[in-house]
Amino acid sequence: MQLLGYSFLSLVCGFFLDLLLGDPHWMPHPVRLIGWLIERLESVLRRWFPAAERGEWAAGICLVLLTLYCSVAVPGLLLWIGWLIHPLCFFVLESVMCYQILAVTSLRRESMKVYACLRQGNLSGAKEAVSQIVGRDVESLDEAGVIRAAVETVAENASDGVAAPLFYLALGGAPLGFFYKAVNTLDSMVGYKNDRYLNFGRAAAKTDDVMNFLPARICAWLMILCSGPAGLDAKHAFAVFRRDRFSHASPNSAQTESVCAGALHIRLAGDAYYFGRLLKKPYIGDNDRPVCQEDIRRANRLMLWTAVAAFLLALGWRGLYFWLGGLL
């Protein structure tokens, strides 16, 4: 009962720490450590397993299992030690962990750097800024392409960086939150359909699809509900969501992108270059008007409203745990 109470307060504290501080670049971050672990494990596993299709597929499964084990075991052990020392030590540790798992402020801050550069007429600076938050090639993008890339990453990461982490923090505290972040990091590093990762990254990509299946849909519905309060078109957001939510090869990424495109009355997605190779993708949304710089601000406003809604939902679920723990 006492442990659940401290865990509930840790989620509250972590969320507000993220809103206040974001992710300072000077501060060591666990996700960077997870990324380092993935790089080291990939190097070792590629030497241990044959370079054939089955060998790479098996190595990719081992990579996922080892990464997820370490990502849960380390924070779980630290929290257990903290609880043995003092409950307040546990509270501080889990609060910091929850804060580091969330990305509301850093997502807004990094995407608004793109907006600031565009407002100054600095397209090359905007390309550099957007390259830090998207996986596509940005060299050939014009201003409209840069805006669409920024809006798309805000829409997608409203789920990946905000709603989904809150979903798993509510279900299992910081250890399950880090489990999700490890899955997300694996997919972002090895979940590509290119010659290097087609087989090796298959397990990571599929695991990410499974882990994001429910959170992406919850986030999409929250975004629809928040479109009105955010000053956007909730009715059109719902219409485009119903029509275009499966327009990506991924079963999840178009869920929130379609809502954002509909709410803003713009068209997103379409063909893009990744690692110098053109990837054909259908458009999402209606081309009711050209995209503009203010769409980045509007997308962030929708993301912030959605973050608050997701937080309240997570808090309710965590509070239910606390209440049921008291009954038992």
pLDDT tens for 184-218 read 999 988 877 777 888 888 899 999 999 999 999 99
Residue ranges per structural domain of the chain: 2-327
Categorize the per-residue pLDDT at 328 as very low, low, confident or very high, splitting at 50, 70 and 90. Answer: very low
Contacts of 17 (CB under 8 A, 6+ apart): 95, 96, 98, 99
Is 288 a residue whose pLDDT tops 50?
A: yes
Above 90 in pLDDT, residue 13? Answer: yes
Mean pLDDT, to the nearest integer, of 260-289? 82
Other Cβ atoms within 10 Å of 310 Cβ, number: 28
Q: What are the tokens at 120?
A: 């100054």
Q: Average pLDDT for residues 279-300, to the nearest whole number?
A: 89
Classified as helix, coil or strand, 266 is: coil
pTM: 0.90
* Dihedral (Cα; 289, 225, 304, 146), 10-degree rounding: -20
Q: How many CB atoms lie within 10 A of CB 10?
A: 25
Average pLDDT for residues 172-179, to the nearest whole number?
94
Which of 39-48, 132-141, 284-293, 298-307 has the weakest average pLDDT? Answer: 132-141
pLDDT of residue 198: 80
Which of the four pLDDT bands, split at 50, 70 and 90, describes residue 318? confident
Q: How confident is the model at residue 271 (pLDDT cuts 50, 70, 90)?
A: low
State mean pLDDT over 220-247. Answer: 94
CA 252 from chain center: how many Å?
A: 11
Whether pLDDT at 26 is above 70: no
Alpha helix (H) residue ranges in the chain: 2-21, 30-48, 53-85, 87-101, 104-119, 123-131, 143-157, 164-190, 202-227, 234-244, 253-264, 294-327
Residue 275's pLDDT band (cuts 50, 70, 90): low
pLDDT of residue 128 exceeding 70, the answer is yes
The pLDDT value recorded for residue 327 is 44
Query: For the residues 44-63, what does the mean pLDDT come to?
Result: 88
